[in-house]
């Protein structure tokens, strides 16, 4: 059994932000797996789909920086090997329109992933790293249709911004492609 955890922040305020790509992808993955009926688990403080024979899908309802303890409790309760854990998250080290699937390797700075690594005392889990960085070097270089965010904006501020309309179209395309890749990988 696989445990697939989408990282994000709970609440409508964060629903369309870059930091919530993990939640966005899990919604698409759930539909692709023909089960988008999320149930809230008080025990795990998470939205969970647990009826699928291949994988549990989980959206922790604690803020991202506190996801690790929830993931650890889920792994221990369901007796899931760390190598069968998949964490889906945004990644500022990867440009928008790209993603990477890797085991044991992640971004330099991501507090949600760091929380999971610290709680599990392991980096051996899988990651689907979804690129969200679409900042430009200098606002003076901006041409029509380019984003209005510059590299001067700190990452923690940038990831809490909603996607711009053109970016949302790109991220939806990436999520759909990554969903297909994940289904193929977790089905093996």
Q: Which of 19, 52, 89, 110 is catalytic?
A: 19
The Cα 41–Cα 46 span in angstroms is 5
Contact 159, 17 (CB under 8 A): yes
104 CB-near residues (< 8 Å, 6+ apart): 123, 124, 125
Going by C-alpha positions, the residue among 103, 22, 116 that lies closest to residue 75 is 116
Query: Do 136 and 142 meet the contact criterion of CB atoms below 8 Å apart?
Result: yes
37 counts as catalytic: no
How far from the centroid of its chain's Cα atoms is residue 51's Cα?
21
Which residues touch 23 (CB under 8 Å, ≥6 apart)? 6, 7, 8, 15, 59
Of the CA atoms within 13 Å of residue 149, those in its CB half-sphere come to 20
> If we measure between CA atoms, which residue out of 25, 169, 39 comes closest to residue 96?
169
List residues with catalytic annotation: 19
């Amino acid at each position: 059994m696989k445990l697939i955890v989408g990282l994000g922040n709970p609440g409508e305020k964060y629903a369309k932000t870059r930091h919530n790509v993990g939640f966005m992808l899990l919604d698409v993955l759930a539909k692709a797996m023909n089960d988008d009926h999320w149930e809230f688990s008080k025990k795990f403080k998470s939205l969970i789909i647990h009826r699928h024979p291949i994988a549990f899908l989980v959206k922790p309802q604690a803020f991202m920086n506190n996801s690790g303890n929830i993931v650890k409790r889920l792994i221990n309760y369901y007796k899931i090997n760390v190598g069968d854990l998949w964490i889906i998250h945004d990644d500022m080290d990867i440009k928008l329109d790209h993603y990477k699937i890797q085991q044991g390797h992640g971004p330099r700075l991501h507090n949600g992933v760091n929380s999971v690594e610290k709680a599990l005392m392991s980096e051996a889990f899988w990651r689907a790293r979804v690129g969200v960085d679409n900042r430009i070097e200098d606002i003076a270089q901006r041409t029509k249709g380019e984003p209005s965010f510059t590299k001067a904006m700190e990452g923690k501020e940038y990831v809490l911004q909603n996607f711009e309309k053109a970016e949302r179209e790109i991220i939806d395309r990436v999520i759909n492609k990554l969903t297909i890749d994940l289904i193929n990988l977790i089905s093996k």
